[in-house]
Structure 1
Amino acid sequence: MPILVTTPRSPWNLTSRSTVSDSPSPKTDQQAGEQHNEPLTLLLVDDEKPARQRLAQLLAPHSRYRVIGEAEDGINALQLIDERQPDVLLLDIRMPGMDGIEVARHLLDLDHPPAVIYTTAYDEFALEAFETRALHYLVKPIREQRLLDALSRAAITRANPEPKQPEIIRERRSHFSVYRQGKRFLVAVEQLLYLQAEQKYVSLHTADDEWLIDESLTQLEDEFGELVVRVHRNALVWRSAIQGITRTDAGYSLFFEQSDKQLPISRRRISAVKKLLK
């Protein structure tokens, strides 16, 4: 099932995989427009509790910084970001499930994303990290002064926000961020059957649902490469989801595991699809 990220009716109803500190509700528009003399709000994201505790200890003596929540995986981090709207994300990279790099890529879609400061034990991800417009990259063990320097830069950025930059080409993602009735959901790539272009949008089809995204089918084909096959000029299918081919009055269609959905195959593509299934 897709994961609900935004829960406006119950903003503090978190799953057992995230821990949060007591804090007031997210900033209102009026508060956001006030002078930037309020504490910088931080969200700590790391799958290791001692690492989160270490960051909290370093920040505790400094009243200009306030931790408003913690998460131990990427999905719960996105949930907390939507609910609490932190100014800064102290973000680990290597985490189970959705890693920190993908979390930061999801933030690129936001009009006012939090500043991202990576806190990681690995230095080999630096180039990839800065492609997500990270503000800083700190290698563990985190030293207090380096952390404070990075946060000072974040405070300056908050006071003087830069215009939103053109979207960066994505690496292959594990989830899609989709919206429905003002709520954000995460749809896992592994749940998808196929993608279908519909005018200006692309629909994501799972076994029992359908979601719209504002992306190009061609770009998605480039992103997912060998994982998908084009069966029609307006349709990409996840190879792993294909159960078989059936003959219909109109030609041939694909059918899928655990779903009643079928998808027509164009005559130009039928030979390639049959070879794929041999």
Structure 2
Amino acid sequence: MTTAIICDDEPRLAEALQAQLQSAWPELQIVALGHSGGEALSLVAEHAPDIAFLDIRMPGLSGMEVARQLAGSPDAPHIVFVTAYDAHAMEAFDARAVDYLLKPVKAARLQEAVDRLRATVQARTPAAKPAASVATAVPQFNADMLLALQQLVPAQRKTLKWLNCGQGTEIDVIATSEVLFFQSRDKYTAVVTADKERYIRTPLKELMNELDPDEFWQVHRSSVIRVAAIERVLRDEMGRMQVKMRGSPEKIAVSGAFTGLFKQM
């Protein structure tokens, strides 16, 4: 039986990926979930999984640092990165034959990863570990690939912490940690907190490039939410998903492409 671990510092994302994998690959046994780089190393040592799904950005050790420590070990699992970095970097990841899942994980992309991983597992001999595989569908992670990843993705990306929001003749300075959600409103973007609503001219698309992707999710083409501010996830009578944020009566629609984030809720 093929085994795997999932490590993501957002428990909801780890659980959502587990649910998606159970659907896409019922035979795969998820032996453990972790939420930090150090925990990932411990779980690999304890369970010796065939596959490790690693978030790139985790507290303590990053996913890349975990992979670096595992590189060269005869018992190292196949590494599948789970990342929120942009599509241009993702194309380069593919070119380097390192598999990845882009947050939010889409079913079709997950199925591609599953098919490639299945082919790799089937190509193994019973006594062999991934390091023995050279020409398989998902090559074993190695130091050269790690170097390529480090060149593509900066270890720490500066993210927006404060917003200057005009209000008449005054400017309100709002910490992103206070924001419940952002929403496109005509030519402006609404910045909504628990006690006020302000507007900025920065489009959502540009704003997403400046926000921490682990803290903010785009759940609709017109809405971005702060994950820590989620109160609950709802479905209406038509089965459409909505998110209720703490401190706001508004229910935010979740488009179909992003519903996988909330499978375990």
Asked if Structure 1 and Structure 2 have the same fold, meaning a TM-score greater than 0.5 normalized by the shorter chain, the answer is no
Higher relative contact order structure (alpha carbons within 8 Å, sequence separation ≥ 6): 2
Q: Relative to total residues, which structure has the larger helix share, 1 or 2?
A: 2
> What TM-score range do you get, normalising by the shorter chain?
0.3 to 0.5
